[in-house]
Amino acid sequence: MNYNIAVIPGDGIGPEIVREARKVLDRVGKKFGHTFNYKELLMGGISIDTYGVPLTDETLLEAKKSDSVLLGAVGGNVGNSRWYDVAPNLRPEAGLLAIRKGLGLFANIRPAYLYEELKDSCPLKAEIAAEGFDMVIMRELTGGLYFGERHTSEVNGVMTAVDTLTYNEEEIRRIAIKGFEIARKRRKKVTSVDKANVLDSSRLWRKVVAEVAKDYPDVTLENMLVDNCAMQLVKDPAQFDVILTENMFGDILSDEASMVTGSIGMLSSASLSSSKLGLYEPSHGSAPDIAGQNIANPIATILSAAMMLRYSFDLDAEADAVENAVKQVLSEGYRTVDIMSEGMTKVGTDKMGDLIADRI
């Protein structure tokens, strides 16, 4: 099979980690008989330097024409970068928001998996880490408080800010369907997280999710309030399979889940549309302070490429091969500096990519 991938290396360590993901994809293609064609595009700070804007119409059009998009990272140091002395819509991260909207990416998937080999890095109690965990957080990406109407004005002599949280049933239904479909590829359990004891939007969320659940009798549904979920993530993370939630709750919970794994450098993510087109990127940022030093951890980007194989291309065996190669390299004791521990072998960005590719 032939697949056309739009590649956006981005800024900071982005080009380094994307290079290693491409290396692994090429090995997958050679082993399984696929051809991956890459179209390299600019977005973020490098696009500002080149074109004056973080995302051009031409780049968005090329991304739309692809089968999927692989992204490194965008942005720089806010405090000392020329990219941030401008209006918010001209900053590097505005390109990311624009491409999500332009591609219709409404479903964000953030896995949180604790590798056996990295349990010592987990900040939770040893007995909790010993149980391990393997979950994904399915976050609605284009609605809710972040995209509602907002304004700041003076009311009776007092400055007052208003943000509006809005969801309609179709927005909820489409993310719920994605959540149940992904649960079917996993352990068949969905935990829908809301604040239905307070918010009307959450009560609608719970109603629509229950309706969708009827079409998936093989998947177990439970409802959980967001404050309880935040507690349960540190008390008993092993209970979760797919956490399905709205935009702001998902933003917060996915960051919490990422930290209990011990290293954000291991965490992949995907943003999906109603079609198979998706955007795949590591959960971490561009880390400009370590760019060009060959010390960045490429595993999150490599695992994001594995998610692309699974969710955009339906190549489950190939995705399994990548994920198993990562586990094998870790079990052999190889580590980048961010996950290094006593007795392990420290390797650079390129060597880690070589090791994983060699084990496909």
Catalytic residues: 146, 195, 227, 251, 255
Give the tokens for residue 211: 């309706």
Q: What letter represents residue 219's amino acid?
A: V
Distance (Å, rounded) from C-alpha 341 to C-alpha 119? 11
- Burial code of 132-162, b = ≥16 C-beta within 10 A, e = fewer? ebebbbbbbbbbbbbbeeeeeeeeeeeeeee
Q: Is the CB of residue 172 less than 8 Å from the CB of residue 203?
A: no
Give the tokens for residue 228: 């309880």
Q: Is the CB of residue 43 less than 8 Å from the CB of residue 8?
A: yes
Q: Is the CB of residue 21 less than 8 Å from the CB of residue 325?
A: no
Q: Is the CB of residue 183 less than 8 Å from the CB of residue 219?
A: yes
- State in Å, rounded, how far the first CA of the chain is from the last one: 18
